[in-house]
Amino acid sequence: MHSLKVELGERSYPIYIGEGLFSPEYLTPHIHGRQVCVVTNETVAPLYLQTLLEALSGGGYTLETVVLPDGEKHKNLETLNLVFDGLLQARFNRQCTLIALGGGVIGDMAGFAAACYQRGVKFIQIPTTLLSMVDSSVGGKTGVNHPLGKNMIGAFYQPQAVLADVSVLKSLPVRELAAGVAEVIKYGLICDASFFVWLEENIARVMAGDTDALAYCVVRSCEDKAKVVAEDEREGGVRAILNLGHTFGHAIETAQGYGNWLHGEAVAAGMMMAVDLSQRMGNVPADLVERTRSLLLAARLPTIAPADMSNDDFLTLMAVDKKAMDGGLRLVLLEALGKAVVTADFDAQLLEQTLTQSRIA
């Protein structure tokens, strides 16, 4: 078992990474009060809910479960309300603890429910997808989608602990594993050049589901993310580099309908576009574009944007992105492998070229 800490003063919390983490040893110290509500979904519940409830059963808690419908298309206020219904029907008080058991959709929704319920109750993240282990469960971004924009309703709200039990990844479909690998590759590109090289050398092990390789990916990604979050919890500056490829990717997700392209798939195509634009601006060599493409393809990820999206579709949807709301469009671009910047200083014509190229190769 590996543990690390997200250093945020009084809001600091541990991330445990390993196997056998569904146990009182890791859960009990982070539970506040006597009422515990597990928020999960209809896919994850049959796989892991019983094991979690058994681990909690000796603690003398009042246990409640809310099982939500599965999918990004349900990440909305209407579904969120089902959590509040469950908590209120069970008469849960302000001293309760919520546990998010699932991927990023469940983590984001349960975290947002915890931020809102009775103006804030404690919660624990138990991420069950690679993407949620390496990204969404860490850093306190919680929320839901709005028909006009992804993740537009939400709050910064940190968990008490993150329990990333990599053994649950064995049941994850390979397409979902790949979506998580997109975010793993992101860390290499934005802040960890030697990890990028490690990934180039070990991508076959990762994609084959090798537990040690996956655990290494989770540890390294969480270390990278924890550093960035500790520096800039509320995304006033450097944290925005974690969104490499996301402005393009969110446009793809919104245009294609939530859930049709997985978040990680959209981020993969979006990162390709960000690296392409960085290269057109003369910041990175052409071979990094090819290395990124090869790595994404080896991870069975898309590198080409949807053929039915025009440059104007992209520009319109990208303008809704949170980073653009306070003015012009800002993008995360690379200055080198392992070094990202957030900038509004890019050539609009080069962006047009990148958008046009993105649907070709």
Residues in the site for ligand GLY, rule: CB under 6 A?
135, 139, 141, 239, 242-243
Active-site residue 2, yes or no?
A: no
- Nearest-CB residue for ligand GLY: 242
Active-site residue 205, yes or no?
A: no
Of the candidates 243, 253, 265, 322, the residue annotated as catalytic is 243
Active-site residue 225, yes or no?
A: yes
Closest CB to ligand GLY among residues 129, 243: 243
Closest CB to ligand GLY among residues 74, 323: 323
Active-site residue 291, yes or no?
A: no
Which option in ligand GLY, ligand NAD, none does residue 239 bind, with CB closer than 5 to 8 A by kind? ligand GLY
Closest CB to ligand GLY among residues 66, 182: 182
Active-site residue 260, yes or no?
A: no
Of the candidates 74, 75, 220, 225, the residue annotated as catalytic is 225
- Give the 3-state secondary structure of the chain: CEEEEECCHHHCEEEEEECCCCCHHHHHHHCCCCEEEEEEECCCHHHHHHHHHHHHHCCCCEEEEEEECCCHHHCCHHHHHHHHHHHHHCCCCCCCEEEEEECHHHHHHHHHHHHHHHHCCEEEEEECCHHHHHHHCCCCEEEEEECCEEEEEEEECCCCCEEEEHHHHHHCCHHHHHHHHHHHHHHHHHHCHHHHHHHHHHHHHHHCCCHHHHHHHHHHHHHHHHHHHHHCCCCCCHHHHHHCCHHHHHHHHHHHCECCECHHHHHHHHHHHHHHHHHHCCCCCHHHHHHHHHHHHHCCCCCCCCCCCCHHHHHHHHHHCHHHCCCCCCEEEEEECCEEEEECCCCHHHHHHHHHHHCCC
Output the smallest distance, CB 4 to ligand GLY, in A: 16
Active-site residue 200, yes or no?
A: no
Active-site residue 235, yes or no?
A: yes
Closest CB to ligand GLY among residues 139, 264: 139
Of the candidates 263, 293, 322, 323, the residue annotated as catalytic is 263
Binding site for ligand NAD (CB under 6 A): 41, 43-44, 47, 70, 72, 75, 102-106, 108, 128-129, 131-132, 135-136, 139, 141, 151, 168, 171-172, 176, 179, 263-264
Active-site residue 119, yes or no?
A: yes
Output the smallest distance, CB 235 to ligand NAD, in A: 10
Active-site residue 352, yes or no?
A: no
Closest CB to ligand GLY among residues 187, 216: 187
Active centre residues (catalytic): 119, 141, 183, 225, 235, 239, 243, 246, 250, 263
